[in-house]
Structure 1
């Protein structure tokens, strides 16, 4: 409940500031919603558009009239109906004249009315000329037939229509867009013939669902010929809820190996597309494109030519990238928010919009017929009086000649009404000719037949619906056209990854003990011979292609990945990995991995557990990486071992106490993460105190040998010697010879 107002001694009302501001803002909001931003369901127009069309009709600017300066129209609109800015009014007028903005333009413009590349490049209103299009008659033809309510203009000197009597649901045909206070509207345009068929179906089947109507209106139809690639089920969901989004994609064709874009999405500029593609070419992100040309002209309004570098370029993949990264594909918001027949704004679905519009149309046609019936009855009444006077012409003439006030005498003598007597007195002498009776009776017969037809139509809902259906079919035949925007469900566009775009050059990625990283071109680099910072030295290296991802493993069992093409050059000493990655506190990097993504790796801890993993599984986009190897308490990560052929290779596991076990590596599972399976048996007590742990592991290929390193001493086990240490996975293994029981390294040959 608002605070009570009070009046001071001067009679001025006093209100609390909170109450005044709340009321003022609410009034402003409602004004913007109802009188500026949202279209009305009946004629699909905003007030400024409605006033422009009505002012042009009052100026006689029909489709058959001569053009008049746009400034004349704008002046009439501002001076008579819409006292706002002239530039805003002219822009609204321009929009209704642009065939690339309106599906069915309402204004026929002469002069520069803008272009698809720059819709706001239109000339000033003193230069352009305009008149109404034939389609505008759909909105204006019945305005003078008693079909609309009228309201005073802003100064009360003129009257303007509250709504225009639209013969078609213009709201869906041309769509609408606007932003109000707290709400907005985005209604796409549709095809006239499709919408008319849906209206006819709903007229005959009032209980039809949205799904039924979608058989006739499968989707929007934009002024441009780009493909609508949103799946049918998503479009149906938009029509069921009144909101959502849809995508439109450019159309292209191949001409002698060149890609020619022939149609763009709605409100997309060809110049903007050229700038976006050229920008990627300059940034070296489109190496597969050799040239780009704009060959658009009057005959071909849209013709953008993209020349691939060779015939080996995957055109579909390239276009998918361009759809994802440029305006060759656009997403459009749909919010069918409008002012309903009750004068309130709300979001409506397709069935509600068409159903309410048909009720509006039925009321409009009923008013038109009733208006015509009233005119017919009035004319029949006058003809009846005229016929009486004609049959008694001598007496009528005598009364007129002799009486000072002939009207009351005529009324009394022949039983005429005031209107009939007035009409007789105003009749010209030439109409008293001998053949006039025949004309009067013929007109009476014609009007009587029309009266009977009008009364029959007004008295029958079925007859009224048949009339509306016939008018819908006639208008659809006259103004309808084929669909411009084909509905073709396509897969979602996907951008090409930067690693795919970068040239696949051989590189060697070098990691130092302190965690510094760099990349050298080529695979013939000696990583150990590079210069390192004081106190730092070589730790690990990986040879791969610059288009691949580099994987790093830290001491906590987490993996990370970075594109090789983005690493610093080996001409310097690199940069710390911690500047690009975010390992846990106290962790340090222990390995760098690359090579082929199809290769398998063995991840293991010195607690005697491990598993196989695909290199691509270790890719991790986040800076914090992802946990891969779970470490038991006190355990450490062993250097990962590449596995070229898991079916024939063997795994050699040696502990610091001199136990060696060899078993087929295919006994290990391939996992994405975890602790792994037991590799070699270590007594629990000795493992807990770290008295015994795995000192080294090695993957031995089929028929290969194994070299043991114990300090400065080496010992090689041939393939036959390895058979002595062969056993089942998880067993204790056998003791190595004396002198090699302190193994600190295994190398497979």
Structure 2
């Protein structure tokens, strides 16, 4: 057979394949169905547990067995996602109503992971059996073939409550996400009943019954007035706060305490330790001095994070600081996205309830249709058995006279007496009139003799009457939507009565937390940083007592204001700013903190060319000199910015800064900052200045500082020295006329004062 090549556009194939993949993730993996509020993996886990007969009154079974059955029969996407689903379904701090009863380590609210599935065990909660899995045997939902068509699985579970609201949902699909908060079971049941009574009910009226989210972690929703719009559109932000309780000291030996007893839902997991870490940072950075100690006393009984306070601390202001500066106040982004008729759709509260109610009517119709058929079949059988009891002698005569079962059954159904021996013609004539149905005949032939006892016959008649009542009841339900609504509401109220719990989340309109930050007492301190980059500030008196040791052990030492900033110019052309208050204010012998921990400066990729305080450069000009011999003067006012990092100068290709130096028209500060670092000397004089540029190949050029023009910080500058192809600027010195300045360069002593003055942009002279 000849090979057939099909030509197609590659982009079309990619587009179609990606769309198919996206829709598969959206509809079959990440988003819940609006009817039962479950994602496929959740539905399959619960159904697999039901098939394993893991009821609430049965022993727990190994989680690995549940995961294996789910993966082997229904969900072939890996065991980790299935076990993670099983774990989350058991966590009552994540779900409004936990659906799985876990036995063993199933994780904690503080972010501890669950034990491996070979160690844990699980079974269904009674609530799940009663509300999520009941009536599966009554043809209430469609069953579909599984992935390899060896099993059947339910398309959707017959969930009796709006699980989408009660347990919420979260999921990330392709290009869309869902995030639905959990709600209170009792309130949701009441809201559904209210909708069924009045389908024109408004969202505002529904929120009078169901005020908003009810998170299992409690907490406080503080933007009540925004909820109507959120539930109308299905999108918005719910603002959450943890609950803080003030506990005054009862003994002299105790301290006043602020205790966090409830946390925002978004703080579940690692965010609890992050909150404690943030509080400790507030203490370390001197944002507050009112907190003496922080401890986490949380247990199975609930959350309890204790902050011990200083005497007479302003606990109200401190509480507001926690809301402002930590995740104790957070937002929950609501996006009520679910699958409706096979397509993703954003739903408002009323739409969620509508889809649920429509689903309940569909379930009830299928359930009572199945039950009605069953009772009608039962009625047929009971009628046949009662009639058979009345003519039991004739039936026995037929059975004794028949040659086989088929002949007897034919007689009972069709009155065919041919070939059957009767005791009398009268019996034969009576038998010829028999017209039992096939089902009745089968039951009669299988009937046991004990059913002929008088009391059994009375019981049979009683069952027949009950059957007639059930048929009448089912027909009434199926014939009237109003009657069916009564049944659905009665079921909801029963569920509410059996499983409802008190609301845990408080909902109100709270004022914005106002935190008055205590103003720092402005004073002069000494900044010191060692050669390893560990920086700190110390008191001036401590500096005076340890002056020699401070200069011997540290690379940078200068005074600054504790309210000011440290400026770091690097060879990459950037200027980084670090707030002095962000550095630890400690004793001289304390270690300090790496300076790149409190700013954007990266010690692994940048080298410091200049480091000083704002006062160091105030009212001065900065001289920039690069490796390739470019130079310029920049007014220091250009660096009075609020950004943590700015570009300090423009650099050419394959160029970097050699040094940054402060100067002005009359006053020169002799400070040398090189890649190796260190202050060579520091002296303030009134004089004119010259620039000395030394290259790696041993050339040196001295020219007046006034030859270098003043430019903007984003300018490239001018060429200060002509360099050979393989040469670059190595050292820069500022020299004042009339001063004797001798430096060590290339292991030689070099007198800069005696150097001949030349012009900018020349080669300079060779060092002998």
Question: Where does residue 306 of structure 1 map in the other structure?
Answer: 307
Q: 1:520–1:569: 8 Å Cα contact kept in structure 2?
A: no
Q: Any residues of structure 2 matched to 1:16-27 within 5 Å, and which? A: 16-27=9-20
How many angstroms does 1:459 deviate by?
A: 1.0
CA distance in 1, matches of 2:195, 2:126: 27
Question: Where does residue 464 of structure 1 map in the other structure?
Answer: 484
Q: 1:520–1:571: 8 Å Cα contact kept in structure 2?
A: no
Question: Where does residue 521 of structure 2 map in the other structure?
Answer: 503
Question: Where does residue 616 of structure 2 map in the other structure?
Answer: 574
**For the aligned residues, what is the CA RMSD?**
3.3
| Aligned residue among 459, 467, 470 for 1:447 | 467
Q: Any residues of structure 2 matched to 1:510-529 within 5 Å, and which? A: none
Q: 1:286–1:501: 8 Å Cα contact kept in structure 2?
A: no
Q: Any residues of structure 2 matched to 1:80-479 within 5 Å, and which? A: 80-119=73-112, 121-136=113-128, 137-229=130-222, 231-256=223-248, 257-268=256-267, 269=269, 270-299=272-301, 301-311=302-312, 313-340=313-340, 342-403=341-402, 404=404, 405=406, 406-413=408-415, 414-479=434-499
Q: 2:32–2:38: 8 Å Cα contact kept in structure 1?
A: yes
Q: Deviations over 1:276-325 (max 9, x none)?
A: 211232233332322212222344x32111122331x3222222222222
Q: Secondary structure at the match of 2:239?
A: strand
How many angstroms does 1:563 deviate by?
A: 8.6
Q: 2:260–2:306: 8 Å Cα contact kept in structure 1?
A: yes
How many angstroms does 1:620 deviate by?
A: 10
CA distance in 2, matches of 1:145, 1:305: 54
CA distance in 1, matches of 2:65, 2:637: 77
How many angstroms does 1:155 deviate by?
A: 1.4
CA distance in 2, matches of 1:245, 1:351: 18
Q: Any residues of structure 2 matched to 1:567-646 within 5 Å, and which? A: 574-576=616-618
Q: Deviations over 1:329-358 (max 9, x none)?
A: 221110000012x22210010111111211
CA distance in 2, matches of 1:578, 1:467: 86
Q: 2:285–2:582: 8 Å Cα contact kept in structure 1?
A: no
Query: When the two structures are superposed, what TM-score results if normalisation uses the length of structure 1?
Result: 0.67
Query: When the two structures are superposed, what TM-score results if normalisation uses the length of structure 2?
Result: 0.65
CA distance in 1, matches of 2:5, 2:636: 79
Q: Deviations over 1:417-450 (max 9, x none)?
A: 2222122222223323333322221111111011
Q: Any residues of structure 2 matched to 1:67-86 within 5 Å, and which? A: 67-86=60-79
Q: Secondary structure at the match of 1:379?
A: helix
Q: 2:450–2:456: 8 Å Cα contact kept in structure 1?
A: no
Q: Deviations over 1:68-98 (max 9, x none)?
A: 1111111111111111211110000000001
CA distance in 2, matches of 1:620, 1:216: 53
Question: Where does residue 634 of structure 1 map in the other structure?
Answer: none
Residue 574 to residue 365, structure 1, CA distance change in 2 (3 Å): same
Please say if 1:486 is aligned against 2:506.
Answer: yes
Q: Secondary structure at the match of 1:140?
A: coil
Instruction: List gaps (5 residues or longer) in structure 2.
Output: 249-255, 416-433, 527-536, 541-559, 566-577, 584-609, 623-632, 645-768
How many angstroms does 1:22 deviate by?
A: 2.0
CA distance in 1, matches of 2:519, 2:278: 17
Number of residue pairs matched? 536
Q: 1:285–1:501: 8 Å Cα contact kept in structure 2?
A: no
Q: Secondary structure at the match of 1:186?
A: strand
Please say if 1:60 is aligned against 2:59.
Answer: no
Instruction: List gaps (5 residues or longer) in structure 1.
Output: 1-7, 509-518, 523-543, 550-561, 591-618, 624-749
Residue 434 to residue 295, structure 1, CA distance change in 2 (3 Å): closer
How many angstroms does 1:504 deviate by?
A: 4.5
Question: Where does residue 654 of structure 1 map in the other structure?
Answer: none
Q: 1:198–1:216: 8 Å Cα contact kept in structure 2?
A: yes
Q: Deviations over 1:621-647 (max 9, x none)?
A: 689xxxxxxxxxxxxxxxxxxxxxxxx
Residue 319 to residue 395, structure 1, CA distance change in 2 (3 Å): same
CA distance in 1, matches of 2:621, 2:27: 56
Q: Deviations over 1:175-218 (max 9, x none)?
A: 00001111110000000111111111111011011111111121
Q: 2:524–2:562: 8 Å Cα contact kept in structure 1?
A: yes
Q: 1:253–1:261: 8 Å Cα contact kept in structure 2?
A: yes
